[in-house]
Structure 1
Amino acid sequence: MYKALAAIFCVALSAPAWAQMSPVGHWQTFDEKTHEVKSQVHISESGGVLTGKIEKLLRKDAKQDAVCDECSDDRKGKPMLGLEIIRGAKKADGKDVWEGGKILDPENGKAYTLRMTPIEGGQKLEVRGSIGPFGRTQTWVRTQ
């Protein structure tokens, strides 16, 4: 009896840790050259599919009314604040990896194949955008 209660207690305590091994949440992005904070992105889930939107522009010189002039799809001319930059990512079977979607770089308007992997207990997120064998990986940091 006590062993069963102890097991239930341990599972209940570890449940929040499981939830953190997901890209769902708020993330700070960083400029790859200056390493300064760039934006805050909110990733949400609906029906097993992730989407991510720019929630805040955090650069010192950021124009809060900027629009995506470089976008060539339905996001062209849309405000950067609220812009959906992640579309269609799904969890890979048996792995803590989300892929199959696209990520938009609003600075150049290009959409890349997406792969997201939570690391460091879910406190950081490796975000890889690629076209064929070429790509780059950024590390985003979870915010509360």
Structure 2
Amino acid sequence: MKLFKNILLLGSLLMMSGHLFAAEDITGKWRSIDDKTGFSKGIIEITKDASGVYTGKIIEVIPRPGYTPKIVCDQCTGTLKNKPILGLQILNNMKKSAKNDLEYEGGTILDPLNGKVYKSKIKLNSTGTRITMRGYVGVEVVGRSQTWIRQD
């Protein structure tokens, strides 16, 4: 009986450690949910470079009834002007917070519909399945949040 309990305990610990490991990183594919309409907008792939900096690009645009997605970022400025939205890097310079393992900060997010770049902050939920992407100007209170759902 004691052996059975130990096996159950070990199995539980392994499952929890895998669960915690999944919650420690935002790399992967994420489905963005529009905060205004509630519809899926696209799939963003977040990667991390060797120095621990996260970036994200649009790898799929999701059409929906009554809406025709933009093909290029016509509102963007500089080198991004009229670049295809598919493949566009929208998340830049994001780093894991030193204060909280589930938060990422210091980066920017581009809204390809209006061409504006915002400061950004990401909060990963404890299960690693959702993030809250906050884009803001100046202070975090003045901004918008979107939910992104892990796809892989």
1:28 aligns with 2:28: no
Kept in 1: contact 2:40–2:62 (CA 8 A):
yes
Q: TM-score, normalised by structure 1?
A: 0.85
1:44 alignment partner AA? T
Indicate how the Cα distance of structure 1 residues 120 and 78 shifts in structure 2: closer, same or farther if over 3 A, else same: same
Tell me which residue corresponds to 2:95: 90
Which whole-Å CA distance do the structure 2 matches of 1:20 and 1:38 have between them?
24
Tell me which residue corresponds to 2:62: 58
Q: TM-score, normalised by structure 2?
A: 0.81
Runs (5+) with no aligned partner, structure 1: none
Q: Among the aligned pairs, what percent are the same residue?
A: 34
Larger radius of gyration: 2
Kept in 1: contact 2:76–2:114 (CA 8 A):
yes
Residue deviations 1:28-85 (CA, integer Å, cap 9, x gap): 1122232111100000111200000001001224447x11111113221211111000
1:72 alignment partner AA? T
Which whole-Å CA distance do the structure 1 matches of 2:18 and 2:78 have between them?
38
- DSSP 3-state at the match of 1:55: strand
Which whole-Å CA distance do the structure 2 matches of 1:69 and 1:110 have between them?
11
Tell me which residue corresponds to 1:141: 149
1:115 aligns with 2:121: yes
Residue deviations 1:87-131 (CA, integer Å, cap 9, x gap): 000001141211101000000111101100101511110100010
Runs (5+) with no aligned partner, structure 2: none
Quote the RMSD (CA, aligned, Å). 2.2
